[in-house]
Amino acid sequence: MDAYLIATILIFLSAIFGYINVRFLKMPNTIGLMIITIVFTLIILLISVFDATLLNIEKSIISSIDFKTVLLDEMLSFLLFAGALHTNFEQLKIQRWPILLFSTLGVLTSTFLVGIAMFFILQVLNFEVNFIYCLLFGALISPTDPIAVLGILKKANVPKKLETKIVGESLFNDGVGVVVFLTIFQIAKSGVENTTAADVFQLFGQEVLGGIALGALLGWVSYRLLKTIDDYDIEVIITLAVVMGGTVIAHKLHLSAPLAIVTAGLIIGNDTVRSATMSENTEKYVDKFWELLDILLNAILFVLIGMEMLLLVFEGKFIVAGLIAIPVVLACRYISLFLPINIFKKKLDFVPKTNLIMTWGGLRGGISIALALGLTSDMHRDLFLVITYVVVVFSIIVQGLTVGSLVKKLKEIIK
């Protein structure tokens, strides 16, 4: 099945499912699209008992798509840039230190806590899984997904200064999380005895610091270019070139593309830079272009997540492990946020119950599934893919639908 036909089918399904959601379900688009796609896939599975034509078509689409490559190497940069472009830079600057700790120390702490907990849980369930593979699961499930978070928080009425923390953390911690995952993945492949601490720090430092430096350079070059012209068509194209060119350069230099693009997006979206480089007309067109692209790619992504369930190996013990992992992942996130929140709580006047809201509002999404799909069979790919999918579905549907209610219940406390 060729790429154009696959893209056509995905956009067609996104349009139909999106219409059904807006017309009847009236849920946030990310949640509604995923629920409808999962129901659609389940119906196709039931129909396949009598006629497997539709099931074979859906399987053909999924098997033709390398979800990990499509999301991490192609779609993610566009989605992150769109999110960073519309993030309140001044609030982000005020909250920079807690966000830095959330997206680094928080991710690392959660990775090890989840890895340790799942190692013992899987032992109890009679799974013989090496500890390093449990750490890999901890790394892929610890980052919150900016794509899911940005789409749902807009409708949850979270206090602005708390929303900035959650959004800022999710924009950066997925890049850090991917680097942590790749580092542990490399150790798992080459063997712990063949990997030195220097190798780990070099890989981590190169990916993270190099990615941020590249993003800063891209942002500065864009600023200089945008400042010298006033033509909204070309200025929109320049922002598109930054994302696409920056992603390619980051991959060639083995730097973190997500961190590079987020950094560039924050610089270009900064109110000071906007006022110095963009006319009011240009600003409107740039924002609308990236908003539309964000909506389109989000729709396709969550339809794909719903369809990915066809790749799962449905075994009872796998699903049980996934259900147990849900409270484990939530508890580990709560603990991992405890120290950064308490360090800055008084200085930055954190709203009460910040930890609870950030834990429940820190959604997992396509990034975790994409990383789980990158595991090899000897890393227990089928097991961890099911566990990841169960956690992600619970996160997006249950947490996503209730985070607004949680905030409302706490509104008297957080005013």
Q: Are residues 48 and 150 in the same domain?
A: no
Residues 243 and 176 both lie in one domain: yes
Q: Which token pair is 392?
A: 């992600």
Do both 57 and 87 map to the same domain?
A: no
Say yes or no: 53 and 145 in one domain: no
Per run of 10 residues, the mean pLDDT along the chain (length 415 residues) is 89 96 91 94 93 91 91 92 85 85 93 97 95 96 83 71 84 88 88 71 85 96 94 96 97 94 93 87 94 92 93 91 98 94 80 88 92 93 96 94 85 59
One domain, residues 23 and 93: no
Residues 51 and 80 in one domain: no
Q: Residue 160's pLDDT is what?
A: 75
* pLDDT of 17: 96
Question: Which amino acid, 312?
Answer: L
Supply the pLDDT for residue 306.
94
pLDDT of residue 50: 93
User: What CATH code is carried by the domain that includes residue 141?
Assistant: 1.20.1530.20
Distance CA 252, CA 211 (A): 12
Domain closes at, from 34, 64, 94: 64
Q: What is the DSSP letter of 351?
A: P
At 299 the pLDDT is 93
**358 shares a domain with 227:** yes
Q: How many other CB atoms are there within 10 angstroms of residue 198's CB atom?
A: 8
Q: Helix, strand or coil for residue 238? A: helix
Assess whether 60 and 131 both reside in one domain: no
Q: What is the DSSP string of 165-218?
A: HHHHHHHHHHHHHHHHHHHHHHHHHH-GGG--HHHHHHHHHHHHHHHHHHHHHH
Residue carrying structure tokens 């850090």? 176
pLDDT at 300: 94
Q: What CA–CA distance (Å, rounded) separates 207 from 202?
A: 8
| Same domain as 209, residue 60 | no
Instruction: Please give the pLDDT value at position 90.
Output: 78
Contact 33, 18 (CB under 8 A): yes
Number of domains in the chain: 2
Question: Does the predicted model carry a pTM greater than 0.75?
Answer: yes
Q: How far is CA 204 from the centre of its chain?
A: 19
Determine the pLDDT at residue 154: 66
Do 77 and 54 lie in one domain? The reply is no
Helix ranges (H only) for 48-130 are 53-64, 67-68, 76-85, 89-94, 96-101, 107-124
Tokens (6 digits) for 73: 């190497």
For residues 12 and 130, membership in a common domain is answered with: no
> Which residue has 């409302």 as its token pair?
408
Among residues 40, 64, 88, the one where a domain terminates is: 64
pLDDT for res 94: 83
Picking from 64, 86, 116, the residue at the C-terminal end of a domain is 64
159 and 237, same domain (yes or no): yes
* Res 414: pLDDT: 52
pLDDT at residue 404 in the model: 83
Q: What is the extent of the structural domain holding 47?
A: 3-64
**Element containing residue 25 per DSSP (H, E):** none
